[in-house]
A and B are shown apart, each in its own frame.
Chain A
Amino acid sequence: MRHLSLVAAFAVASWSCGTDSSKTKSANPGGAADSGAKAAAGADLTGAGATFPAIVYAKWIDTYATKTGVKINYQPIGSGGGIKQLQEQTVDFGASDAPMTDAEMAGAKGGPVMHIPMVGGVVAIAYNLSGVTQPIKLTPGLLADIFAGKLTKWSDSRIAAANPGLKLPATDILVVHRSEGSGTTYIFSDYLSSVSPAWKASPGKGKELQWPVGLGAKGNDGVAAQVKSTPGAVGYVELAYAKQNNLSTALLQNADGKFVAPTAEAATNAVQEAAAKLPANTDYRISIVNSPGATSYPISSLTWLLIYKKQPDAAKAKKLTDFIRWALQEGGPQASALDYAPLPKPVVDKLVARLDSLSGTGSTP
C-alpha cells in the first residue's frame, strides 16, 4: 500500500512537470523550429507566424505547389512566435498580425526586415439578442463603453438613441473577449484606442489586455461559441467565425459617420483608403483601423509576411518572392472565398514593385 501512494506522489510531480515542459516546448520558438525543421524536410521554404491568415496561406500554398511544384511549409504558431523565429533566422519568412516594433526590428539577426501586407481581415462585433431582427448600430463611443463595462444593459438609452425604431431587451450585457494573446485582440484594442482616449489610457492596446469586464474564451471559435450560447453576450471575432456560427453582427459607424456592415469588400475599401494616404517610401507598418471613406469598415486589419531585405540564399529568395508575387496577384479570389479581404489592385502593384527591387539587390549573402 505504501508503494502505491509513493507511485501516486511521483505521478503528481511528473505530471505537472510534464504539463509545464510540454507547454514550454510547443510554445517555445526554438523548440517549434526544431520540430518544424524535421516536418519540413521536404519543403523548399519554411515560414511561421500568425494563426489568423493560416487558412488562406494554406490554400495558397497548396494551389501554388500543384501549379509550380514549390513546397512551402507554414506553421501557424502565433504572431509573436513568427517574429521570434524570423529574428533567430530559423525560418525563411515570418508572418504577423501586428507590424514589428522598432525594438523587434533591431533584434532581427539578419538585418532590416521588409513588411509585406498579404491580405486584409475584418473583425466583426457579434452579439446575441433574441427578438432583435435588424442589425444593431453602434458608434465608436458606444462600443468602447460596452467593452469598458460602462454600459451594462442593452436597453440603455444611449444604445437606444443610436438605434431609433429598434426595441432592445433589458438584458445584461456580457462582454466576451479572447483569453489568449491574439492578433485579433490587438486589432480590436488598436481600434478602440484610436477612437477612445479613455480606452487608450487604460487598458490600452495589445495582444492581451487587462479587461475591465467580461469573460475570456479561447480562440475565435471559443468567443463565437460563448456569444452564441449566452443571451446578451457581445464579442469580437474574425468575420469568418461570425458567419459560420450565424451570429448577428453590428453595423459600426466609420470615420465618415456612416454605419457599415462587416464584409470583406468593406475591408478592402478601408485598405484602399488608407493606402492612398501613404507616402511613397512607406514601409507598410501601418494600421488601417478607423480608415476614412464612406464605405470603409472601421475594424479592418492587415496581416503581414516578414522577410529579410537581404536574403542569404539567392535561389530561395527567388522562390520566396515568386510565391509572394503570385499570392498577391492571383490569390485574391481564393482569399475572398474564405472571408478575407483581398488587397486592392493599386496596392498590389506597389507591393510587387517593392518585391522586384528586393530580388534585384538581395541575392548577395
Chain B
Amino acid sequence: MTEVSIGARVTSQPTPVTTARIEGSSVGDRIYRGTTTFFALIIPILLCLIAWEVFAAGWPALSKFGLAFFTESHWDAVKGVFGAAPAIYGTIVSSIIALLIATPLAVGVAIFLSEFAPAWVRQPVAFFVDLLAAIPSVVYGLWGILVLVPFLRDTVMAFIRDDLHLGGLPIFAGPAYGPSMLAAGVILAIMCLPYISAVTREVLLAVPRSQREAALALGATRWEMIWDAVLPYARSGIIGGIILGLGRALGETMAVTMVIGNRHEISASLFQPGYTMASQIANEFSEATTDLHVSALMAVGAGLFIVTVIVNVIARWLVWRTGRLQGT
C-alpha cells in the first residue's frame, strides 16, 4: 500500500531477466507458464467476443437508424421505429441519484466502523451492511413495490410538494404516482451501498497507523485527522469502491424495472417514470418478434457496453490522477 508515482511503478515492473530464466528452465515450467497465460487470456478474449457478438447483433438497427438511435426518443415496436435515448438517460440519471445518496452514507458508515466503533460493534455492523449485498435484486424490487414506493409517494413526495412547496421546480414536477426515477435511484443506492462501504472500510483500515499518529502529533483533532490525513490517503481506493457501486447500479435490472415505471420518455422530473437500458432489454427480449426489434435491443446492449467502458475509462483516469497527485 505504499503510494508511489506512476513513473516509479513502471520501473518496478518485473524485469526481462526473470522471464528469460523461466524460458530457459525445465519443461514443467514452460507448461506451467503456458497454462497460466492461457487462463489469463481467457477473460479478455471472452470480453472481446461478447462485445463483438453484441455489436454484430445490434448492427442492423444501428445501421438503419444511425446515431439517431442514441438520440431519438421514439420506441415503437408496432411501427418498427427505435430510439434508445430515454433508456440511456434513465440509466445514467438513476445511477447518479444512487451514487449521490449512497456515497456519503457508505463512506460515513466506513469511517464510523474503521475509526470510531469499538471492535464488538464493528464486526456485527459490518456483517449486516455486507449482508445487504447478498439480498437478491427481485427481493429488493418487491420491497420497493410494497414499501418504498408507497412511502416515497405518500411521505417524501407529498412532503416536497405540499410542505416545501417545491412542486414548481422542474425536477419535482408532474403528478406523483410513486414508481419513478427517484424510486429507482433510492433502491439502487441501497443496493450499491454495501459495495462502496465494504471497499472503503478495508481501504481505511489499511491506512498506516503512522499516518494517523503523525496527524494527531501535529495537534489535529480526531475529525481533522480523518478528514485531512486518512481520507486523502485512501482517496483512490474509495473512488474504486464508488466505481464498483456504480457498476452495480448501471447493470441492475430486476429491482429497477419493478419501481421505475418503465416509461420510454425523457422527463426532467424525478417524480416521473423512466426506463433504463438493462430493464428495457430484460422486459422486451423474450417477446421481441421482429428481427429489427431484437436487433434494436442488442444495440441497446451495445450502448450499455459503451457507457460501461466510458465509465471505466473515467474511473481509471481518476484513480491514476489521484494516485499521481499524492505521489508527487
Contacts and interface: CB of A to CB of B under 8 A. Distances in A.
Contacts of B79: 204, 210
Contacts of B253: 19, 23
A2 B319 contact: yes
Contacts of B251: 15-16, 18-19
B145 A207 contact: no
- Size category of the binding interface on chain B: 35 or more
A4 B240 contact: yes
Interface string B1-25: 1010000010000000000000000
A225 B179 contact: no
Contacts of A183: 287
A216 interface: yes
A9 B316 contact: yes
A215 B246 CA distance: 26
Contacts of A207: 77, 287, 289
Interface residues of A, number: 56
A309 to B, nearest CB: 22
B237 interface: yes
B258 A218 contact: yes
A364 interface: no
B50 A17 contact: yes
A215 B323 contact: no
Interface string A171-214: 01010000111110000000000000000000111111111001
Interface stretch (A65-73, A79-87, A267-275, A324-332): A79-87
Interface in B241-281: 241, 243-244, 246-248, 250-251, 253, 257-258, 261-264, 273, 278-279, 281
A8 B315 contact: yes
B60 interface: no
B250 A16 contact: yes
Given A80-B286, A80-B287, A203 B262 contact: no
Contacts, number: 185
B264 A20 contact: no
Given A9-B312, A14-B43, A215-B177, A208 B286 contact: no
A80 B308 contact: no
Contact of B278 (A4, A19, A104, A181): A19
Given A9-B316, A14-B47, A218-B258, A174 B177 contact: yes
B213 interface: no
Given A20-B301, A215-B179, A218-B283, A203 B316 contact: no
Contact of B287 (A16, A78, A104): A78
A181 B50 contact: no
Interface string B288-328: 11000000000001001100110110011001000100000
Given A179-B262, A207-B289, A230-B177, A12 B315 contact: yes
Contacts of A335: none
B281 A15 contact: no
A12 B312 contact: yes
B247 A2 contact: no
Nearest to A214: B263
A106 interface: no
Contacts of A1: 1, 3, 203, 206, 234, 236-237, 240, 323
Interface string B27-65: 000000000000000010001001100100000000000
A230 B157 CA distance: 14
Contacts of B54: 20
Given A9-B315, A16-B304, A23 B244 contact: no
A119 interface: no
Contact of A8 (B199, B250, B285): B199
Contacts of A218: 257-258, 262, 283
B239 interface: yes
Interface string A1-40: 1101101110111111111110110110000000000000
A81 B294 CA distance: 12
Contacts of A210: 74-79, 264
A12 B236 contact: no
Nearest to A79: B287
B66 to A, nearest CB: 20
Given A204-B78, A209-B76, A214-B263, 18 more contacts: A1-B323, A5-B319, A9-B319, A12-B315, A16-B304, A17-B51, A24-B285, A174-B177, A179-B279, A180-B282, A180-B283, A203-B76, A208-B288, A209-B77, A210-B79, A210-B264, A217-B179, A233-B177
Q: Which 7 A-B pairs have the closest CB atoms?
A: A181-B287, A5-B240, A216-B262, A12-B247, A179-B262, A215-B261, A27-B285
20 contacts: A1-B206, A4-B237, A9-B319, A12-B247, A14-B47, A19-B278, A80-B289, A104-B289, A180-B283, A181-B284, A182-B287, A208-B77, A208-B287, A209-B78, A210-B264, A211-B263, A216-B262, A216-B273, A218-B283, A229-B145
Interface of A: 1-2, 4-5, 7-9, 11-21, 23-24, 26-27, 77-81, 83, 104, 172, 174, 179-183, 203-211, 214-218, 222, 225-226, 229-230, 233
